[in-house]
Amino acid sequence: MTHPLAPYAVSVSHSKGRQYQEPSPGYRTEFQRDRDRIIHCTAFRRLEYKTQVFVNHEGDLFRTRLTHSIEVAQISRAIARALKLNEDVTEAIALAHDLGHTPFGHAGQDALNESMSPFGGFEHNLQSLRVVDHLEEKYAEFDGLNLTFETREGILKHCSAKNAQQLGELGLRFTHNTQPSLEAQLTNLSDEIAYNNHDIDDGLRAGLITTEQLSQVRLFQAQFEQVTKLYPKLSSKRIAHEVVRRMINCLASDLIKTSLVNITNAAPETIDNIRQHKQTLINFSDPIKELNLELKQFLRQNMYRHYRVYRMTKKAKKIVQGLFNVFIDDIQLMPTEHNHKAQQAEAEYGHHGRARMVCDYIAGMTDRYAINEYNKLFDPIELT
């Protein structure tokens, strides 16, 4: 860490540590080690073949969850540095925040949650934590990645009160109404900055939305007018990028400025002051909050409900629910390793345990793996 940290930043000296004690990492900080473990895990590599809005095979130019996670890391590190917060833990949180996502983005997640509703439901955020706490099987001495409390705290953005009760100290903030670290708070909002802006970029490229439609979005229009005035002959591709980069900059700058004022007013001295504060200190200003909301509503109405996206949503639901139903009825249809886990979980926790193992198997699938599995199980011509 080359820049001095604010006294209320996440720091190695005040870390609540790892579940299993390990020797210190030597040349790296504890949070750099977290980041490195995340980059080397299986779920991280699978992010390349998972999508948010588009499906992986729809085109090579669209964001995947991997490029999205890298963009979130980029935005949040810049913000962390400007606020003298811990860049290392911020990067680790950003790279891990989507590890628990199902195939087919929101559609897959809704479908899995529906199928799992009699068995405790499915929360993608909780699943990200489950991946780093339990599901990765790489280390000799523990399951999961044995990450620090601070990285895990940042990964768990939301959680129902019921599930929070099972999580010990990590779940307390959802029942006691306290706040996570500033690093966790800023990564959460960087996620929003990243996906709103890249969805515009991808949406324009896919022809799902047009710049004419976007003129009703004030945040877009202000930058669009500036760019086309400065560069009247610019190609539409370059205009889109120039506008999007300005929008990201505008949102990130506002977040930094507003949060600095909030922090100055709250005058925290330690990270405990941050956690005990009655509300989050990392925030957009009220006018930008309003403009951001307008942008989100536009995307919801014009892009996420576009018929081409909707068709894929329907198909994704069919695949995820089809897989869940067929596996829950007969776990022997799952690959041996998953079948064994389901048998064990059933012996220990009954039908709920069996369902959770089926759910873990499906949640871990990439888009194309899920499509292939579905075809193998339901298409009579597919032989293996």
Smallest separation (angstroms) from Mg ion to the CB of 262 = 23
Nearer to Mg ion, 15 or 90 (CB): 90
Are 214 and 197 in contact by the 8 Å Cβ rule? The answer is no
Which residue shows structure tokens 């951001």? 292
Nearer to Mg ion, 52 or 223 (CB): 52
Q: What is the dihedral of CA 208, 209, 210, 216, to 10 degrees?
A: 170
Are 95 and 68 in contact by the 8 Å Cβ rule? The answer is no
Nearer to Mg ion, 34 or 98 (CB): 98
Position closest to Mg ion via CB: 191
Smallest separation (angstroms) from Mg ion to the CB of 197 = 12
Smallest separation (angstroms) from Mg ion to the CB of 264 = 29
Q: Is 102 in a helix, a strand, or coil?
A: coil
Are 241 and 248 in contact by the 8 Å Cβ rule? The answer is no
Smallest separation (angstroms) from Mg ion to the CB of 13 = 30
Smallest separation (angstroms) from Mg ion to the CB of 357 = 25
Nearer to Mg ion, 110 or 191 (CB): 191
User: ∠ CA(244), CA(183), CA(105), 5° rounding?
Assistant: 55
Residues near Mg ion (CB under 5 A) are: 98, 191
Nearer to Mg ion, 124 or 317 (CB): 124
The Cα–Cα gap between 108 and 316 comes to: 6
Smallest separation (angstroms) from Mg ion to the CB of 232 = 36
Are 216 and 298 in contact by the 8 Å Cβ rule? The answer is yes
Which residue shows structure tokens 């009247």? 232
The Cα–Cα gap between 151 and 324 comes to: 31
Nearer to Mg ion, 93 or 365 (CB): 93
Smallest separation (angstroms) from Mg ion to the CB of 128 = 10
Nearer to Mg ion, 191 or 373 (CB): 191
Nearer to Mg ion, 150 or 191 (CB): 191
Q: 10 Å Cβ neighbour count for 374?
A: 19
* Nearby residues of 230 by Cβ (< 8 Å), 6 or more positions away: none
Smallest separation (angstroms) from Mg ion to the CB of 38 = 14
Are 283 and 258 in contact by the 8 Å Cβ rule? The answer is yes
Nearer to Mg ion, 98 or 201 (CB): 98
The identity of residue 187, as a single letter, is: T
The Cα–Cα gap between 348 and 34 comes to: 31
Picking from 359, 304, 305, the residue whose alpha carbon sits closest to that of residue 120 is 359
Smallest separation (angstroms) from Mg ion to the CB of 195 = 6
Q: Is 297 left (phi over 0), alpha (psi -120 to 50) or beta?
A: alpha
